[in-house]
């Protein structure tokens, strides 16, 4: 089989799918999207290298939040702002007036501060993604706001697409099989919540790519060797990651374990291991240490994140950990898993509970199978990366609970380690599968996620964003008897974007998305399910 052609096909399918998501997703429906956009805007138009976290948003963003339909998470916004639920009950003329006003917002308002009190709170995030996006924001600043959002979304999805080849490299490093590695990559390309996570203006797209690259470098260093160039690469990628998202701190324990393993492996001649450790530490600190020193100086916290800075009375770590017993951990972990599998966008859309439990069951079976192969060095390396990230998530639950009283965390953060997660799941499921079925394990994953994707898009997301379903008082979704022509559905989805984007164009993008989703299943069946003569492949030994 021609591995490059299959990988390119998966890559094209991924881009096709995520372009549809990024184009169809309503403006500001992405998690914290308007605040991420506000940070980029201040950098681009006001020349602010590091905007202050309490900087007001611009007048045009504030006006847009009052005109267009807002996600359910912003349902407490004062009138005239309203959610999708209320917006589609407005008369047609009023909706047209609002959209026309949105497209005619003065360009000068982008350089003027709003007075409503909303701030660009995402400026607390490390700045690398915003620096990358700022030139495009400046180049498109003369276009209307909806068009600017689309351009930045498309930049984000192009960055996120780099996950495809590096996920393949992770799988190949572990399985030493192109077909299984392609299968792992196809599973990732089919995951619907991953599409939502990276189809917005936000730093998650870059963070996922860098974490995937770092994961591959760690596994390769275990399977092959931690030579100086690879050590330097690990340090640079870690440093860039730490300048993108604070959750890259969770990668440090896995890297420490890698360095310890390298010492053990080269115990007859420790000098190369000492040198590699110095290279990793110095290169990462040279890139990112200044940001975390700045956090300590300006916020008295290492991460500088909102939960850490809003702790009552600057609680000590001992006080924080003393609250462990107050949290109902199964519920908190369930919230992470649920919002990782599918949570819609910022409107907190969900599906039937039994659907989540199907995926929970598969994850449980994978964990059981993983016990059989856990001693393999590459599996141990991936497990270290994944487990360290989970520990970070559990700490974030504790931090948020101490700061807000809410015991939860964001499951979409888990896509940072999606390459490790999917590879471990495939390895675990293969370990407990009959030999003749092992090559088809990735296909099952692709099929399940493709069905979930097609269901959530057509039965939940599109109906909600076009007014056919809405939230009840208790948060459940309720169907309305509403007849809409297909053309009207896509016209509504195209609203508040760019004048060039019509319902017909969005319909064409939807058709391409459906074809790409089905194609991933076909690719998995045709190119990703081949096995060697023994019916499987060997997990790489160190």
pLDDT in tens, 88-103: 999 999 999 999 999 9
356 within 8 A of 337, measured Cβ to Cβ:
yes
Q: How many whole angstroms separate alpha carbon 282 and alpha carbon 288?
A: 10
The predicted-structure confidence for 290-318, as pLDDT tens digits, reads as follows: 999 999 998 888 888 877 777 776 677 78
Say if residue 522 is preceded by a cis peptide, omega within 30 of 0: no
Q: Which domain holds residue 9?
A: 3-158
Residue 71 included in any domain: yes
Beta-carbon contacts of residue 68 (< 8 Å; ≥ 6 apart): 26, 27, 28, 87, 98, 99, 102, 495, 496
Whether 184 contacts 165, CB under 8 Å: no
Residue 437, in any domain of the structure: no
Average pLDDT over residues 61-78: 93
- Number of domains making up the chain: 1
| 411 within 8 A of 336, measured Cβ to Cβ | yes
User: What integer is the mean pLDDT of 200-215?
Assistant: 97
In a domain? residue 481? no
Residue 309 covered by a domain = no
Decide if 117 is inside a domain: yes
Q: Which of these ranges, 18-27, 30-39, 123-132, 319-328, has the smallest mean pLDDT?
A: 319-328
Residue 450 located in a structural domain: no
Residue 365 within any structural domain of the chain: no
Q: How confident is the model at residue 501 (pLDDT cuts 50, 70, 90)?
A: confident
Please state which of the ranges 59-68, 193-202, 317-326, 509-518 shows the lowest mean pLDDT. 317-326
> What's the pLDDT at 466?
92
Is residue 475 in a domain? no
CA distances from residue 395 to 121, 184, 302, 323, 399 in whole angstroms, order as listed: 22, 29, 14, 11, 6
d(CA 266, CA 400): 42
Q: How far apart are CA 380 and CA 382, in angstroms?
A: 6
- pLDDT, tens only, 473-482: 777 777 776 6
């Amino acid at each position: 089989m021609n591995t490059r052609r299959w990988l390119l096909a998966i890559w094209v399918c991924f881009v096709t799918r995520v372009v549809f998501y990024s184009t169809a997703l309503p403006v500001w429906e992405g998690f914290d999207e308007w605040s991420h956009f506000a940070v980029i805007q201040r950098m681009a138009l006001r020349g602010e290298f590091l905007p202050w976290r309490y900087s007001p948003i611009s007048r045009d963003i504030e006006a847009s939040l009052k005109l267009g339909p807002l996600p359910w998470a912003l349902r407490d916004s004062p009138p005239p702002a309203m959610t999708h639920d209320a917006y589609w009950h407005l008369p047609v003329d009023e909706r047209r007036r609002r959209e026309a006003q949105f497209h005619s917002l003065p360009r000068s308002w982008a350089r003027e501060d709003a007075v409503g009190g909303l701030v660009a709170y995402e400026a607390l995030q490390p700045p690398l993604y915003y620096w990358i996006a700022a030139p495009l924001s400046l180049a498109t600043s003369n276009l209307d706001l909806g068009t600017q959002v689309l351009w930045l979304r498309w930049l984000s999805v192009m960055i996120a697409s780099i996950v495809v080849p590096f996920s393949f490299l992770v799988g190949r490093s572990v399985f030493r099989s192109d077909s299984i590695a392609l299968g792992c990559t196809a599973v990732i390309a089919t995951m619907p919540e991953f599409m939502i996570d990276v189809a917005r203006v936000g730093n998650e797209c870059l963070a996922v790519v860098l974490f995937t690259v770092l994961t591959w470098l760690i596994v390769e260093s275990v399977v092959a060797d931690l030579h100086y160039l690879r050590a330097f690469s690990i340090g640079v990628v870690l440093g860039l990651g730490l300048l993108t998202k604070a959750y890259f701190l969770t990668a440090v324990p896995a890297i420490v374990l890698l360095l310890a393993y390298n010492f053990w492996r080269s115990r007859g001649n420790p000098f190369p291991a000492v040198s590699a450790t110095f290279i990793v530490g110095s290169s990462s600190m040279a890139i990112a240490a200044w940001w975390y020193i700045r956090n300590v100086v300006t916020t008295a916290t290492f991460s500088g994140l909102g939960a850490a800075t809003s702790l009552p009375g600057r609680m000590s770590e001992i006080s924080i950990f003393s609250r462990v017993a107050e949290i109902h951990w199964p519920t908190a972990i369930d919230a992470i898993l649920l919002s990782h599998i599918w949570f819609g966008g910022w409107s907190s859309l969900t599906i039937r509970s039994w659907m989540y439990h199907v995926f929970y069951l598969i994850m449980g079976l994978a964990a059981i199978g993983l016990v059989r192969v856990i001693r393999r060095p590459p599996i141990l390396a991936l497990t270290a990366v994944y487990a360290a990230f989970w520990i970070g998530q559990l700490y974030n639950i504790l931090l948020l609970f101490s700061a807000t009283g809410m015991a939860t965390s964001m499951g979409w953060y888990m896509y940072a380690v999606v390459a490790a997660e999917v590879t471990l799941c495939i390895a675990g499921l293969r370990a407990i599968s009959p030999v003749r079925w092992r090559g088809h394990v990735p296909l099952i994953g692709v099929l399940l996620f493709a069905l979930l994707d097609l269901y959530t898009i057509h039965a939940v997301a599109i109906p909600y964003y076009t007014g056919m379903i809405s939230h009840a008082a208790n948060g459940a979704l309720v169907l309305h008897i509403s007849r809409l022509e297909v053309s009207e559905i896509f016209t509504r989805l195209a609203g508040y974007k760019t004048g060039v984007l019509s319902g017909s164009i969005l319909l064409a993008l939807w058709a391409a998305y459906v074809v790409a989703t089905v194609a991933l299943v076909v690719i998995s069946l045709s190119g990703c399910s081949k096995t060697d003569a023994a019916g499987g492949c060997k997990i790489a030994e160190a």
